[in-house]
Amino acid sequence: MNSYFDSAIEYNRTNTINLAHSNDQSQSFSNEKNWEWSYLVRKCRNLELEESYDLYMRRLRVGYLSLFIFIQLQVTITHTLLLLTTPDITFVYVDMAAYIASGVVIWLILSVNFRSELVSKHGWVVYVSSWLAVCVMVLMDIGLNVYHATSHNFILNPIYDAYTLYAIYMFMPVPYLLQPFVLGSAVTLCYIINYIFVITSKEDNQMHSILNEAIYLSCVNLLGIFFRLMRDIALRTTFLDRRQYVEENLLLRYARDQERSLLLSILPNQIADRLQEDVKNRIERSKQQHQQRSHVDTQRTTDSQNLKRWRQPDHGTLFIEPHEDVTVLYADVVNYTHLTTTLDVKKLVEALHDLFVRFDIASEEYNVLRIKFLGDCYYCVAGLVSPNADHAKCCVDLGLRMIKDIRDVREKRHLNIDMRIGVHSGDVLSGVIGAAKWQFDIWSKDVDIANRLEATGATGRVHVSQKTLSLLDGEYFFEDGTEKAREDPVLQKHGIRSFLIKSLRAPMHDPRRVQRERQAKKLSEANKSNFMHNSTLHQYNQVRNQAKLEMCRELDKMPIGRIKLTKVFRRSTRLTQDEIEEETFRRNISSFCLFFRTRNWEMQYMREPDVMLKYSIALAWVIYMGLLTIQLLSKDARYHYWYIDGTTIILLTMLLIVSWYKKLWIMYMSDAEVSVPTSRLSGCLFNMSDVMQRNLFLRILIYFLIILSYCAVATMQVLGCSKDEDYEDSDPTVEDRLFCFHPWILTNCMTLVIGMSFLFTRIPFIIKVCLSTIITIVYAALVIFEFNHIYANSPSTNVNFNAKYSHILLMIITLGIFHLMERQTEFIAKVDYNWKRQLMKKQEDALITNDTIKVLLTNILPSHVGLPF
């Protein structure tokens, strides 16, 4: 049993991030594997969780879709109200009608996804509704451009190109990655075609503009793909952690049931509770003194060293309990001594085993607690574990059953044996004595009387005292006791008159007896249920099957991180299980910053290693190359630009190599035993890669360095440009004003900077929000004050609408989308961390329970018998 729980706990421990930040290298290698998308998918399939995960994701996608509808409503209302501020609203009504109508149509199309029964029966509804909604968004945005270009010769810039792509990857309920990628590629192609034939139709340098737009939309697609992939990894990890918590809970429940069954098989409830609590408290105290452990092997060594100290109860503690109104039964095998001298030892032991197994089964059926057996002596007590008004009848029925069983064994094995049984009712003291080896026993004069009744009884008969006979309600035929009993000094001393039970007086179908036997059988089945499956494999499979059922119930309780709108929309309906779980968890975190209210928790959460850092840096490197290409295509390259750009490329490339070195080393060593590199250069790179993942301040420093590099490469487009006053006297044309830099290209680059600032994992949420907000405010100030004339004369998104407000609106939309999505992602990450803490607590409880079982077994059975049990 203990080997099973050791292996099960070890299995679960390898999948849990070490909250104490152990430096154990094997744990580091395990973390690398545990955060791989392919590994997580394979693990879900191996655990047969893919279907449950799809159900969870379906509910989660509905939550994301609800968030998108809220965002779409806000964007439509804001954009429509801003159009009303235009000085000439002649052409505004068409745009307003298009925005409102498209919003209503999109809501109607996507609303079918909220009908869970329809979606579960017809999976194609998800794909069709998503494609139709995206088509409406694209047709509305591009259609207005085409309409104004052909009807009024107004060249407008689309504002919802990136917004549509973000909606595809972040909000649309299309599962997996291929379908969103195909849909995003189709949308990208549509906007590039619109850019070629509508927007750049009057520009001289069309190819550069088209390439810039293609690079920008490709980078937006990369951000969307990265976000969806990282979200799937995070959600699968959260889902597996929850499943692991469920399995750990079941394992702990099984362990406690085993422990409880073990105790109750030899001890009454009262003493078992006290003894169990005493052992557990001492183990917990001992573990608190050994908090600084390097790894699991050291812990096991420590446990084995302290096992001898744990197994001994405190010398000042006596586990003794008084019991009134119980009945004691003593049984002895007649002619046993003769058999020991004439019968082969193996046959003798087999006969005794067969006999005592029958006695144990019968004692459980009659709700009688067996104390112990010594050689051929077997004694037990009824009414000790729980109050039982029929304790005397249970013992007498057991005695008659034992006589029948021994005669069956006598005929089966051709042995000359029989039973002599004594039964007496009274009061006893029960308890555990001993230090190195515990022994449960009962003591009192009534125990001695029962022993004497057995010794002076008749072969094949149940010898009872008058007190016991008075409790039998006349259900048995009886006769006077034996001559030996009348002459026995102990019985004479206590004035005991004895009787021999001949047989039952009441018929077998007597209602009282039938009811009593049914109750005894029910109690027996309840006691046996905990020992029915001793096979480790069978028990582990049983836990896994039960975990599947538990996960189905847990799906309804797993929160999805809703945006709270209770102040705007009051709900009158009852909360669902996941909403209750979510509201309960929200009490542990602050509403604004999403910090744990317990400061220690927040620090431990932030200091967890960021295994996904290498993917964030890889994406950052690709996006930077895209921004650099846009910069080079938009502005003449100067020597100091190349100097700054070259330095930044080298720095980012070095970060990329270092961050991926650990992963590449583990992949290279996949066919061999994974270990730390031995060469100096390789070991240095490996350690640097590991430190980058583990050190919070280093991760934040890298994060700021990358975002500042983005801002630098984007703002290089405006270097050398003059302020608005330089154009007041010259009155240049729009083409001359835009020659300095293209405002929409710079705005697109800044939206990529904002998106990238949110897509770093394990960076505190408040830092992301503050940095992206500062970037948006600074850029808005740049648009309004520094280069007002250039932005105001750039292509707008609507006729007669001030273009600089279009730029700011796009920045705010991008900031709002990523802020809400990151807020939801951070909430789910905090929920996952909270579950991991609960899981660690369950594992600690399981280890304590496992150690308690070891102590109990060691103190009850010999070590070579008890521990492997």
Looking at residue 864, what is its pLDDT? 45
Looking at residue 655, what is its pLDDT? 92
Q: Is the pLDDT of residue 128 over 90?
A: yes
Mean pLDDT of 267-287: 69
C-alpha span between 454 and 470 (Å, rounded)? 19
Looking at residue 300, what is its pLDDT? 45
- In the block, residue with structure tokens 């970037």: 775
Candidate from 275-284, 373-382, 484-493 with smallest mean pLDDT: 275-284
Judging by beta carbons within 10 Å of its beta carbon (0-12, 13-18, 19+), is residue 137 exposed, middle or buried?
A: buried
Looking at residue 579, what is its pLDDT? 61
Q: Is the pLDDT of residue 510 over 90?
A: no
Work out the percent of the chain whose per-residue pLDDT is above 90.
28
The per-residue pLDDT for range 303-320, each reduced to its tens digit, is 444 444 444 445 446 677
Who's near 295: CB < 8 A, 6+ residues apart? 22, 24, 26, 27
Candidate from 344-348, 349-353, 604-608, 841-845 with smallest mean pLDDT: 841-845
Who's near 252: CB < 8 A, 6+ residues apart? 842, 845, 846, 849
Looking at residue 289, what is its pLDDT? 60
SS (HEC) of 357-399: HHHHHHHHHCCEEEEEEECCEEEEEECCCCCCCCHHHHHHHHH
C-alpha span between 666 and 269 (Å, rounded)? 53
Element holding 322 (H helix, E strand): strand 319-334
Mean pLDDT of 842-868: 63
Looking at residue 64, what is its pLDDT? 87
Looking at residue 521, what is its pLDDT? 56
- 341 or 355, higher pLDDT: 355
Mean pLDDT of 573-601: 71
Looking at residue 779, what is its pLDDT? 93
Looking at residue 131, what is its pLDDT? 94
Closest residue by Cα to residue 756 from 633, 648, 626? 626
Looking at residue 570, what is its pLDDT? 45
Go through the chain and tell me how many residues it has.
869
C-alpha span between 38 and 54 (Å, rounded)? 16
As beta bridge partners, residue 456 has none
The per-residue pLDDT for range 131-151, each reduced to its tens digit, is 999 999 999 999 998 888 888
Helix axes 696-715, 639-668, angle to 10 degrees: 140
The per-residue pLDDT for range 149-168, each reduced to its tens digit, is 888 788 888 889 999 999 99
Neighbours of 401 (CB within 10 A): 17
Which parts of 398-475 are beta strand (E)? 418-433, 439-443, 462-465
Q: Which band of pLDDT confidence, cut at 50, 70 and 90, is reported for residue 543?
A: low
C-alpha span between 141 and 152 (Å, rounded)? 17
Mean pLDDT of 105-123: 88
- 236 or 498, higher pLDDT: 498
Dihedrals φ, ψ of 719, to 5°? -65, 130
CA torsion sign for 241, 245, 246, 248 is positive
- 16 or 170, higher pLDDT: 170
Mean pLDDT of 331-340: 85
Looking at residue 653, what is its pLDDT? 93
Q: Which band of pLDDT confidence, cut at 50, 70 and 90, is reported for residue 564?
A: low
Which parts of 152-292 are beta strand (E)? none
Alpha carbon 379 to chain centroid distance? 49
CA torsion sign for 509, 510, 514, 520 is negative
| Amino acid, res. 247 | E
Judging by beta carbons within 10 Å of its beta carbon (0-12, 13-18, 19+), is residue 481 exposed, middle or buried?
A: buried
Q: Which residues of 240-276 are buried (b: 16+ CB within 10 A; e: fewer)?
A: bbbbbbbbbbbbbebbbebbeebbebbbbebbbebbb
C-alpha span between 560 and 162 (Å, rounded)? 25
> Considering all CA atoms of the chain, what is the largest pairwise distance in Å, rounded to the nearest integer?
138
Looking at residue 21, what is its pLDDT? 40
Q: How far is CA 719 from CA 451, 566, 664, 714, in A?
A: 106, 47, 40, 10
Looking at residue 513, what is its pLDDT? 57
Six token digits for residue 634: 């938009």
Q: Is the pLDDT of residue 292 over 80?
A: no
C-alpha span between 294 and 25 (Å, rounded)? 11
Q: Is the pLDDT of residue 299 over 50?
A: no
Q: Is the pLDDT of residue 637 over 90?
A: no
The per-residue pLDDT for range 723-739, each reduced to its tens digit, is 544 444 444 444 444 45
C-alpha span between 824 and 69 (Å, rounded)? 15
Q: How far is CA 321 from CA 267, 269, 313, 330, 441, in A?
A: 11, 10, 16, 21, 11
Looking at residue 467, what is its pLDDT? 93
Looking at residue 24, what is its pLDDT? 47
Q: Is the pLDDT of residue 40 over 60?
A: yes
The per-residue pLDDT for range 202-213, each reduced to its tens digit, is 555 567 788 888
Q: Is the pLDDT of residue 704 over 50?
A: yes
Who's near 182: CB < 8 A, 6+ residues apart? none
- 329 or 679, higher pLDDT: 329
Six token digits for residue 799: 């006729």
Six token digits for residue 499: 């009787």
| Amino acid, res. 691 | V
Looking at residue 540, what is its pLDDT? 54
The per-residue pLDDT for range 179-193, each reduced to its tens digit, is 999 999 999 999 999
Q: Is the pLDDT of residue 764 over 70?
A: yes
CA torsion sign for 724, 730, 733, 735 is negative
Q: Which band of pLDDT confidence, cut at 50, 70 and 90, is reported for residue 553?
A: low
The per-residue pLDDT for range 347-360, each reduced to its tens digit, is 888 888 888 889 98
Element holding 630 (H helix, E strand): helix 613-634
Looking at residue 56, what is its pLDDT? 80
Looking at residue 214, what is its pLDDT? 92
Mean pLDDT of 709-717: 85
C-alpha span between 531 and 258 (Å, rounded)? 8
Instruction: Output DSSP code: residue 313.
Output: P
- 732 or 562, higher pLDDT: 562
Instruction: Output DSSP code: residue 589.
Output: B
Q: Is the pLDDT of residue 20 over 50?
A: no
Six token digits for residue 607: 């200091």
Q: Is the pLDDT of residue 386 over 70?
A: yes
Q: Which band of pLDDT confidence, cut at 50, 70 and 90, is reported for residue 566?
A: very low
Candidate from 36-50, 101-115, 455-469, 849-863 with smallest mean pLDDT: 849-863
| Amino acid, res. 522 | K
Mean pLDDT of 287-292: 57
The overall average pLDDT reported for the chain is: 78
Six token digits for residue 409: 């064994």
Q: How far is CA 243 from CA 210, 240, 547, 608, 740, in A?
A: 49, 5, 7, 21, 58
C-alpha span between 458 and 403 (Å, rounded)? 12
| DSSP H stretches of helix in 563-612 | 577-586, 599-606
| Amino acid, res. 302 | T
| Amino acid, res. 832 | D
Looking at residue 868, what is its pLDDT? 42
Looking at residue 531, what is its pLDDT? 40
